[in-house]
């Protein structure tokens, strides 16, 4: 399970480096509206997600934006990377509770998730995520840096959909790898940069990525951090 994660000061800079084409199309100011979302992200909060949207269908959007590079010509389909502010969690059955995670092993079989996993995949950028052991001891997990320390960008796989006018997302979880085992049996489905780009493509081999084992992470004990603080 993943119930809290961190967007750090360097998360957006690392995102710019990994997905440089966003800057080519949108410019440096593109990330400014999302900077206020840095910090701990909890269920029901708004957070930035990265997704791919189709533009230029039948020439409509390419005419509207004056044929901007990357918009596709008249009569062409094309797509662009987009950052969107979405709410973390789908409303539960009959509006009770909030569904924040979906298991990779069953997501394609669940009616609530299947279409979104197939057609509306997204990436959730973070500096790392928190997990609590059975003894309620908190830990922070982050990408390993070049010297084995913490890196700056972690990309969690998820999916999104619009619900009563609000864009919402869910994070996919898988069995814990060696770095998370012993703290919790589940962890987010974390993708490397190549896998992350594939996850956003229309021709993505979704079942294959849903069965991958995430790379090892750096693990840091955090003392008395409260789940509800």
Query: pLDDT, tens digit, for every residue of 181-224?
Result: 999 999 999 999 999 999 999 999 999 999 999 999 999 999 76
d(CA 11, CA 32): 13
Given this model, what pLDDT does residue 10 score? 85
Q: What percent of the chain has pLDDT over 90?
A: 61
User: How do strand 166-175 and strand 101-103 relate by DSSP bridges?
Assistant: parallel
d(CA 168, CA 204): 21
Residue 66 pLDDT exceeds 50: no
Q: Which of 78-82, 141-145, 176-180, 198-202 shows the lowest mean pLDDT across its residues? A: 78-82
Given this model, what pLDDT does residue 192 score? 95
Residue 64 pLDDT exceeds 80: no
Choose among 200, 154, 182: nearest CA to 21.
200
Overall average pLDDT of the 18-23 stretch: 74
Residue 61 pLDDT exceeds 60: no
Given this model, what pLDDT does residue 81 score? 85
User: C-alpha distances in angstroms, 125 versus 21, 74, 222?
Assistant: 16, 33, 21
What is the chain's mean pLDDT, rounded?
Answer: 84
Given this model, what pLDDT does residue 48 score? 93
Question: Which string of DSSP letters, residue by residue, matches 137-159?
Answer: -EEEEEEB-TTSSB-S-EEEEEE
Is 107 or 16 the better-scoring residue by pLDDT?
A: 107
Residue 76 pLDDT exceeds 90: no
H helical segments located in the chain: 11-18, 21-26, 60-64, 114-119, 193-200, 206-210
Tell me the pLDDT tens digit for each residue of 79-98: 788 889 999 999 988 778 99
Contact present, 165 and 113 (Cβ < 8 Å): no
Given this model, what pLDDT does residue 28 score? 60
Write the CB contacts of 141 (distance below 8 Å, at least 6 apart in sequence).
128, 129, 130, 131, 179, 180, 187, 217, 218, 219, 220
Question: How many CB atoms lie under 10 A from the CB of residue 222?
Answer: 11
Given this model, what pLDDT does residue 75 score? 37
Tell me the pLDDT tens digit for each residue of 95-138: 789 999 999 999 999 999 999 999 999 999 999 999 999 999 99
Helix, strand, coil proportions of the chain in percent (round to 5)? 25, 35, 40
Given this model, what pLDDT does residue 70 score? 39
Residue 72 pLDDT exceeds 80: no
Contact present, 100 and 94 (Cβ < 8 Å): no
Is 191 or 26 the better-scoring residue by pLDDT?
A: 191
């Amino acid at each position: 399970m993943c119930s809290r994660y961190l967007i750090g000061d360097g998360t957006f800079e690392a995102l710019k480096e990994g997905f440089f084409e966003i800057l080519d199309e949108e410019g440096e100011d593109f990330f400014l509206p999302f900077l206020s979302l840095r910090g701990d992200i909890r269920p029901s909060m708004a957070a930035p997600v990265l997704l791919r949207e189709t533009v230029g269908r039948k020439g409509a959007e390419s005419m509207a934006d004056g044929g901007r590079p990357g918009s596709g010509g008249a009569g062409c389909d094309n797509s662009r990377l987009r950052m969107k502010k979405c709410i973390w969690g789908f409303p539960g059955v009959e509006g009770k509770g909030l569904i924040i995670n979906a298991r990779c092993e069953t997501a394609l079989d669940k009616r609530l998730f299947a279409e979104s996993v197939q057609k509306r995949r997204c990436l959730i950028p973070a500096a790392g995520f928190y997990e609590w052991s059975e003894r309620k001891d908190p830990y922070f997990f982050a990408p390993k840096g070049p010297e084995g320390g913490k890196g700056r960008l972690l990309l969690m796989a998820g999916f999104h959909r619009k619900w009563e006018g609000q864009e919402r997302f869910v994070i996919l979880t898988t069995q814990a790898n060696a770095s998370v085992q012993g703290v919790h049996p589940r962890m987010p489905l974390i993708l490397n940069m190549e896998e992350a780009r594939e996850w956003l493509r229309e021709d993505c081999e979704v079942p294959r990525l849903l069965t991958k084992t995430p790379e090892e992470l750096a693990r840091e004990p955090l003392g008395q951090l409260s789940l509800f603080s």
